[in-house]
């Protein structure tokens, strides 16, 4: 797993910037901000069998080389109040989140490979 990069997508060609940072085909892309045209162009950076996840609809999902996931979320006051209630009464429990420093990534992988992780493992800089 490689590190991540923050990109100013408003002042650069996002596709060219990603390509410059990662010249090899990508396994997956999650884009929650771009329009359908940009998501389609980004999907050209995926390897065959790669996955793109986006809330902008089916723009790149007609490409037979890749898999697409349409992300939908509707946040309302009622839903947030319901979640807060579930947290308060214990019917919704947030999973344990364990953090590992980047230099200790191998420990996180070993734990993950053991197959008994409850919650999330997060690698931080």
pLDDT along the chain (125 residues), means of 10: 62 87 90 85 91 78 83 85 91 84 88 76 86
Write down the domain spans for the chain: 1-73
- The enclosing H or E element of 9 equals none
Question: Which pLDDT does position 60 carry in this prediction?
Answer: 64
pLDDT reported for residue 1: 39
Rounded to whole angstroms, how far apart are CA atoms 121 and 117?
8
| Dihedral over alpha carbons 101, 102, 108, 110 (to 10 degrees) | -130
Give residue 25's pLDDT: 94
> What pLDDT score does 46 carry?
93
Report the distance separating Cα 122 and Cα 119, nearest Å: 10
């Amino acid at each position: 797993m490689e590190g991540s990069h923050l990109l100013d997508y408003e002042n650069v060609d996002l596709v060219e910037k990603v390509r410059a940072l990662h010249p090899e085909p990508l396994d997956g892309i999650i884009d929650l901000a771009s329009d359908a045209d940009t998501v389609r162009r980004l999907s050209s950076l995926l390897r065959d069998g790669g996955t793109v996840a986006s809330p902008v609809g089916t723009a790149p999902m007609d490409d037979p080389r890749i898999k697409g996931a349409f992300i939908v979320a509707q946040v309302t006051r009622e839903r947030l109040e319901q979640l807060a209630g579930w947290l308060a009464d214990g019917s919704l429990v947030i999973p344990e989140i364990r953090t590992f420093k980047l230099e200790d990534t191998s420990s996180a992988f070993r734990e993950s490979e053991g197959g008994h992780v409850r919650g999330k493992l997060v690698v931080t800089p």
